[in-house]
Amino acid sequence: MSYLLYSITFLVLVTGTALYLTRTHWLPHLPTVDLPFTSYLYSHLPTSFSGDIEAGLSSSDFDLSSNVADNDSRAGLDRVAKREVLKIMKRRRVDFNEARRIYTEQRFAKNDIGPDGRPRDPKFVSFS
């Protein structure tokens, strides 16, 4: 009986180690599941530009410090977009600029626009 217990324990350890070491290959292919308790993490997002900067939603390419310096009275960035960008940053482990690019490309694809910004509509006519 102990032989069976040791064999199962060894198999679980080897399988767990192999999965951990190869997680960068198989983890992005798993479907994302929205668990009920995770909505709490994203429900209390900052509602000002200074809060957006503190949450990591600013970079040298997308600088919000001028909005704070000018005492901009707007509520900050779009709540839905912030939530999605933060999810992308967490799920794919990328920085803000890359997450913003991924989010924009997803929005383009949803609206049938190519990554280069041109519509994919076959009736589209462009004069350059």
Asked whether residue 82 is domain-assigned, the answer is yes
On whether residue 1 sits in a domain, the answer given is no
20 pLDDT band, cuts 50/70/90, is very high
Answer yes or no: is 67 within a domain: yes
Max CA pair span of the chain: 78
In a domain, 90, yes or no: yes
Provide the pLDDT for residue 32.
72
Flag whether 98 is in a domain.
yes
If one compares 7 and 28, the residue with the highest pLDDT of the two is 7
- 93 located within any domain: yes
Domains in the chain, number:
1
Structural domain for 44, as ranges: 37-116
Per-residue pLDDT, 72: 66
pLDDT per position as a tens digit, 55-96: 777 777 777 767 677 776 666 677 788 888 888 888 888 888
Q: What is each CA distance from 118 to 18, 23, 95, 101, 126, in whole angstroms?
A: 43, 36, 26, 16, 9
Say yes or no to pLDDT of 113 above 80. yes
Residue 105: which of 85, 76, 125 has the closest Cα?
85
pLDDT at 74: 67
39, pLDDT greater than 60: no
d(C-alpha 88, C-alpha 110), whole Å: 16
How much is the average pLDDT of 16-41? 77
* Amino acid letter, 95: D
